[in-house]
Structures are given as structure tokens and as C-alpha cells.
Amino acid sequence: MRYDRPFPLDTPLDTPRDRLVLALDTHDLDAAAQMARLLAEYFRVAKVGLELYCAGGFELINVLADCGYEVFCDLKLHDIPNTVGRAAKVIGKLRVSYLTVHAAGGLRMLQAAVEGLAAAHSSQIADESPNRTQLLAVTVLTSESEVSQNRLIQRIELAVEAGCNGIVCAAPDLTMATRFADSLICVVPGIRLPGDSIDDQRRVATPREAIDAGADLLVVGRSVTRAPDPVAAAESLHDHLRSSA
């Protein structure tokens, strides 16, 4: 196995906005678009999850991209390799910057996703600015309260061997990914501001805890989107990151 690929995150992580992913976890397309426009100043990436994608997120991708977001398509693809590869090829032709696939699917499935994206990129070669979709392997869901260290390490190693650009894992799991830090984007969901409810998550972290553990991108949803004043909540999130830097 090779772990010496250049770090694949193109955008510098110089400001709080550079690190933040807005999770639009809803089935309401209009509400998602409205929230995205409201918070574009505070988040660089917008995440379209499975619920929203099924509701018509295919069309929302262009709306988000037009708002200036990098789009994170969080579908956690998990099927036979041929199906995953073809699905990845479809997504790779859209204005999507990040796509998730579940590492539980195994090496061949992950490789098929990598190959599908590569095929999509090759078909765009004549474009002056072709889209490049980064593939992120989901390791263990943050809703799981207990994690096998061996299983986690195995899935991280599979992601690297398959050629994925990064991983998605809970902040406490990042200590087991440190030896891959130079070759993987580390994306952490389950981010909560101090005092926030953890809802259906089990392994959550504050933004600073996640960054200190090695996170590159932080996925934030309910702490901001369900706040009485989402803009004020987003400003508090930025203040938290600046004050604890």
C-alpha cells in the first residue's frame, strides 16, 4: 500500500468558513435553497444528504453551486461494485465537489467508485474547467456508540488502498487516522456547539475538539439550521472557531 499521495484538499483552511460544511438535512427543496442562500457567507461547502437528494436534490446541486458553494453529495453509496461505479460516474459529471461511499462495501467497491469518478473526469477533459469530485469513504457512522478499533483501521486502510481522497469519521476516531493525515481529507460530522443537544448522534464533538483531533472539514447542521436565528448561530460558530484558535 502507498500512503504518500499529495494532500488532496485544494482550498486553504485559513478562515472558519473554509472548514465549514452546511448540512441541509431536510426534504424541502425550497427551504434548503433558502437556508443555503442565507448562510452562504458562513459556509464554503453545502451537503446534500440522501433525504434531500431523493426529494430532488439532483436539481438543487446547480442551485447550490450557483450560490458559490462547493457541493457535498452525501449518498454513502453501498452496492455491488458495478452499480456503485456507474452511480459515481453519473455524480462525477455533476457540479459536485465531494461524494461519499461507505467503506463497509469493501475494496473492490471503493475502487469501482474511484474508477467511476475517473471516467467522468476523463469525459470532461475538453472542458476548460472540468469538475473534480473528491471521493470520501465513510468509516463508521456517528450514531454508533461503540466502535471496533480494528474495524475502523481496516476501513481507513481500504480507503487509502482504493485511492479515495478522504474519509468521514467521528472526531474520537481521528486518533486512529493520524498516520494517514498527509494523504486523506478528514471530514467530521456530528459537530455541536457547547451546550447543544446531541439528538440522535452518539459520538459528537465541538468544532475545536474536532480540529484539535485532526479534522479538516466540519459538518454542521442542526446547531445552525434549527436555531431560532440561523445567522446568529452561524456567527457564534465562527466566534467559537476564532476564539479557540
The catalytic residues are 76
Torsion of CA 192, 193, 195, 198, to 10 degrees: -10
Strands (E), the chain: 20-23, 45-49, 70-77, 98-102, 134-138, 166-168, 185-188, 217-220
Q: Give yes or no for a contact between 212 and 231, defined as CB atoms under 8 angstroms apart.
A: no
Please name which of 61, 45, 137 lies closest in space to residue 95, comparing C-alpha atoms: 61
Q: Concatenated DSSP letters for 55-89?
A: IIIHHHHHHHHHTTPEEEEEEEE-S-HHHHHHHHH
Integer CA distances (angstroms), 74 to 57, 77, 209, in order: 11, 8, 23
Distance from C-alpha of 50 to C-alpha of 136, rounded to nearest angstrom: 15
Q: Which residue has the cell 465562527?
A: 238
